[in-house]
Amino acid sequence: MAKLKHTIVPLFVLLLVWTCASERPITGGPVDLIPPQVVFSTPVNETVNTSRKTDIYIKFNEQMKQSTVKSALQIWPSPPGEYEIKTGWTWVRVTFEKPLSENETYLLTLDKSAQDLRGNELESTYVLAFSTGDSLNAGHISGLIYGDKSISKNGDLLLYRKFDLPLSELRSQVADYVFQPDDQGNFELSYLAEQSYLLFYHWDRNRNKRIDGDDYFGRPMLASVQARSDSSGALHKIWPQLMPMEKVRLLGVSELGENFVQIRTNRPWNLEDIDGFSLFANDQNIPVLGTSRVEADAFALQINLASSIEDGSQVWIYNFLDTSGYRLSSDTLMFKRAKDLDTLSLLPFNVEWNNVQGNNLPSDSNSILIRAKLPFSFKADSAFHLSDVKVDSIPIQGSLRERSSTTWEFLAKDVLKDGIKYKWQIETKYLEAPLNGSKLDSIVGGSLALVSRDSLGGIRLMQMSIRTLECRLLSKDLQLNFRLQPNTAYEISNLPAQNYTLVAFLDSDGNGRYSSGGMGLAEGAEPFWIYPDVIKVRARWETDLGLWRYRE
């Protein structure tokens, strides 16, 4: 019995050591959703006359994932020499290689990526300020990031002391301060020297530590910002936009059938303008007869061409419109013809209302688009049926016309009723689809619904200025762009009853889209305004926003 007890003790100790030696989520017990907190630091926050040879020690109220604490910790501005970060379960210590600079205010920041063992992040960026002189810097900069929550939540604000450097030099330098907005987009950085800085926002989506295509970038309207110690400092507004690539990368061109190919890019296609591009092979523009979306692949498009592409040709696309609204051209890619071709099935069809606004109103929805993956044609108008969903409903009369080799349009002779669901049916025996090989004899169908006009509302507004504003009305599933002339009432009708946000900007460069600025002194962002309140549209009601006054 004594021998058994002697054996159990070392095993228990070994198990305890092994358990404490690895970072992993804690199991069992109630779910912990409380963010971790810093409970102690040395030096204490806002300490002055700190020794230049000090270490920094921070204590947490619970166990932390040590790797996340190390990656989240930064010292601003950069101290002389290197510094070492040591971590324990509930603490972190920073040791400096060289003495800190004289009369300098330092900020230690822990961004929100620092996590406890449950994966809870810090509630906001933690800032520890101390000075090696007899006072702390009193300047501060604050503002708000506008736009989608994911944009304002994931990016960083970068602040440079040398705000007058040219772009080529500035991009090669590390920012003097890096901090984050909160989940609502608000940001503030205190303890700054009262001087001018260069401020911009960057969401480095591809994490290459560069400002390049596919990143979100934005800056205030003025090229430089002033850190002030009083309350008269400006609240800086930033509206980040997606940075365009100079070119889009062509990932592949594959042949699906005679004069029919599929192309893939590294950018998603804008489905509202998939016919607005050109395809070139060996400097020859090959006319596009029709395009079709690829199901569950926003980066691919199937194209019917007027002629075939020669094997070994250099292929590229021109005037590509991506989902961010930028028109780009691609690099070149060599086309290799496959020995064996596999055709795709024609079905299922994509049938939708031909309605720009997406409201599915009867006044503008008596036209229906029929798209397929491969070129096809109708041999008779009777191949497409449309009727009410009620039993024994009489088919609605209409005509078919070809829009492209992969898209046809059905035009109902009469205006359809609002608030009604309709069913459609296609008899494929009346189709010609040469790339499918065998004769088609199936029947496919589905339904389309029109909204009730009584469920829609509208808004009315007028802006007081001498400039024309470019406006965007945004909701969860609608974006409406319009131009607001000065001192002229503007009405928007047939809006679904929901909440909207209204954004306006001055298109100073005349390119038709908002420019979020650059890193040079003369590259400030275009001025923009956000309507101060959420716009609530009610059914059968016109919401009058009155006069919209803004400051230049």
pLDDT tens track for 213-224: 889 999 998 878
User: CATH 2.60.40.10: which residues of the chain?
Assistant: 454-549
Determine the pLDDT at residue 551.
54
Determine the pLDDT at residue 550.
62
- How many angstroms separate the CA atoms of 419 and 333, rounded? 49
- How many angstroms separate the CA atoms of 268 and 300, rounded? 8
Q: Under CATH, what is the fold of the domain 350-451?
A: Immunoglobulin-like (2.60.40)
Averaged pLDDT for residues 451-462: 91
- How many angstroms separate the CA atoms of 355 and 405, rounded? 20
Q: Is the pLDDT of residue 188 over 80?
A: yes
Averaged pLDDT for residues 22-34: 63
Determine the pLDDT at residue 294.
85
Q: Is the pLDDT of residue 509 over 90?
A: no
User: CATH 2.60.40.3710: which residues of the chain?
Assistant: 38-242
In the three-class reduction of DSSP (H, G, I as helix; E, B as strand; rest coil), residue 197 is classed as strand
CATH architecture group of domain 454-549: Sandwich (2.60)
Structure tokens at 33: 């959703």
Averaged pLDDT for residues 180-185: 87
- CA dist list (Å): 523 to 167, 197, 200, 526, 533: 10, 14, 11, 9, 30
Determine the pLDDT at residue 35.
92
Q: Is the pLDDT of residue 79 over 90?
A: yes
Helix then strand then coil, % of the chain, to nearest 5: 10, 40, 50
Determine the pLDDT at residue 106.
96
Kindly report, residue by residue over 398-429, the tens digit of the pLDDT: 999 999 999 999 999 888 888 889 999 999 98
Residues with Cβ within 8 Å of residue 402, at least 6 apart in sequence: 377, 408, 409
Structure tokens at 383: 């191949």
Kindly report, residue by residue over 347-363, the tens digit of the pLDDT: 788 898 887 566 677 66
Q: Is the pLDDT of residue 70 over 90?
A: yes
Between 164 and 443, residue with greater pLDDT: 443
Between 385 and 438, residue with greater pLDDT: 385
- How many angstroms separate the CA atoms of 348 and 356, rounded? 23
- CA dist list (Å): 347 to 115, 351, 371, 376, 433: 49, 11, 10, 11, 11
Between 383 and 28, residue with greater pLDDT: 383
Averaged pLDDT for residues 14-35: 56
Averaged pLDDT for residues 72-81: 92
38-242 maps to which CATH number?
A: 2.60.40.3710
Between 336 and 342, residue with greater pLDDT: 336
Q: Is the pLDDT of residue 497 over 60?
A: yes
DSSP 209-278: SS--TTSEEE--SSSSEE-BSSTT--EEEE--EEPPPSEE-EEEEEEEETTEEEEEESS-B-GGGTTS-E
Name the DSSP class of 116: B
Arithmetic mean of pLDDT over the chain? 86
User: CATH 2.60.40.1220: which residues of the chain?
Assistant: 247-334, 350-451
Number of C-beta neighbours around residue 282 at 10 A: 13
Determine the pLDDT at residue 30.
67
Whats the size of the chain, residue-wise? 552
247-334 maps to which CATH number?
A: 2.60.40.1220
Determine the pLDDT at residue 358.
61
Please give the share of the chain, as a percent, with pLDDT higher than 70: 90
Q: Is the pLDDT of residue 541 over 90?
A: yes
Determine the pLDDT at residue 218.
93
Distance of CA 67 to the CA centre of its chain: 28
DSSP 435-502: GG-SPP--EEEEEEE---GGGEEEEEEEEESSS-EEEEEE-SS-EEEEEE-BT--EEEEEEESSEEEE
Kindly report, residue by residue over 265-291, the tens digit of the pLDDT: 998 888 777 888 999 999 999 999 999
